[in-house]
Structure 1
């Protein structure tokens, strides 16, 4: 029957997605592990003549690759818990303004490294129910994404919100390179990485936006990217009042 055929096709698609997911994880894990191994072997084989600054660089690379590995594993576990519904939200009435300030504070050093400004466009205090740690995670993902796309010294990232129909609409806007039109439909997919990032190699796990989408949907909200933006990109998400 057509129902059985459709069910089989769905299973095949899910199987293919699972294989692709595992392939990508294997590749993503291999990259930092290779870096750690290479730097460790060089340090093991080094003679007394290795300059201190070169040894220091190798040690810093090991720490940086270990951090990347740790973030990747945490993101994979997070994604898996959210997608299987094993992650419970801790929803309480929170002040959105305080959450904004925490998110900006957490990323100020990263923005300062590139001399990028992060501005809060709305200083009005407003309370509504949400899981603060999780919404902080979404804001952190969106702001750090903007930092990647912004040019050094010229970048400006703006946080804003407005009251919508029985919800609050929150926006993170930047004047960076923007996201190519053809990428927009894949932006919230697992392991999405844009070629427009202002970094030599893509940073992060590529799961940030997929995790953000799941968090917002668990709040019965919605997340999107504005289309047709002439400069940079604007992400928005809605949180309902109840």
Structure 2
């Protein structure tokens, strides 16, 4: 239309309006194309990030499986070696024989605990675990957990300080919540120093929630690990906080248990004197 207009000839108003309309349509189409181009770029970036996340997850899974294989192999090899020694030496002194038998029992317990964690994690992550929720005293459950790790703390000379809390009754599966508390306390015992290690458990009540704080004066958790520490395949690259197999799965299991009770568990990023885990229950 524009090319058909001759300069020497006067242009009528309708023709001018038509030219303007065509220009307006062209501008609108260009804007739409630009917007679509931006949308495609954003989508491409999102797909790229998602792909990178999948690659990282796959790497973490491979590392996790390698670690599991190693953890399964170690006690199995130890049990076999001790059994062969006992089988080949009928004249072994009783005390030495007892020592080998104790090692076999301990390695068997370690192997059973690892297998239980693997099965627990699989059931909980797939929603196949049925919680036996009844009314329990949170104070009593916490003291059971502290009693359960008492020997570990005593052996390492670690102090566990539990603030006195009023009796709070909530509906939960006591075995599973006891498992969470025990895991958090055991992890703290592992990562604090001998003799001067201190673990504190505090409770805070609000109108709708119960908050429990598990604090220790250990090496703490790097900021870059906090977002991923509850992932079942995650192992920290920082050797100071690299999770032992039991505790690594234990944190993932703990998260599934707490979320199955409509609560939450997280690391406090503002706590700088060690590590602080916050468990939140709904009243």
Where does structure 1 differ by over 6 angstroms across 4 or more consecutive aligned residues?
14-17
* TM-score, structure 1 normalization: 0.83
Q: Superposed, which structure 2 residues align to 1:27-66 within 5 Å?
A: 27-46=70-89, 48=91, 50=92, 52-66=94-108
Superposition deviation, residue 46 in structure 1? 3.6
8 Å Cα contact 1:119-1:159 kept in structure 2: yes
1:204 Cα deviation after fit: 2.7
Question: Which segments of 5 or more consecutive residues in structure 2 lack a partner in the other structure?
Answer: 1-42
The aligned counterpart of 2:172 is 130
SS of aligned partner of 1:123 = coil
Structure 1 Cα separation of the partners of residues 246 and 78 of structure 2: 15
Ranges in structure 1 where 5+ consecutive residues have no aligned partner: none
Max radius of gyration: which structure? Answer: 2
Q: Do the aligned partners of 1:75 and 1:205 also contact (CA within 8 Å) in 2?
A: no
Contact 2:68 2:245 in 1 (8 A): no
- 2:144 & 2:155 partners in 1: Cα distance? 18
TM norm structure 2: 0.72
Contact 2:232 2:248 in 1 (8 A): yes
Structure 1 residue 72 corresponds to structure 2 residue 151: no
* 1:117 equivalenced with 2:159 (yes/no): yes
Tell me which residue corresponds to 1:196.
240
TM-superposition CA deviations, 1:178-235 (whole Å, max 9, x none) = 223343233212264773369xx94636311010011111112111111142222111
Given the alignment, which residue of 146, 156, 168 partners 2:210? 168
Aligned partner (choices 208, 213, 219) of residue 177 of structure 1: 219
Q: How many residues of Structure 1 are paired with residues of Structure 2 in the alignment?
A: 236
More helix by share: 2
The partner residue of 1:222 within 252, 261, 264 is 264
Q: What value does the CA root-mean-square deviation take over the aligned residues? A: 3.1
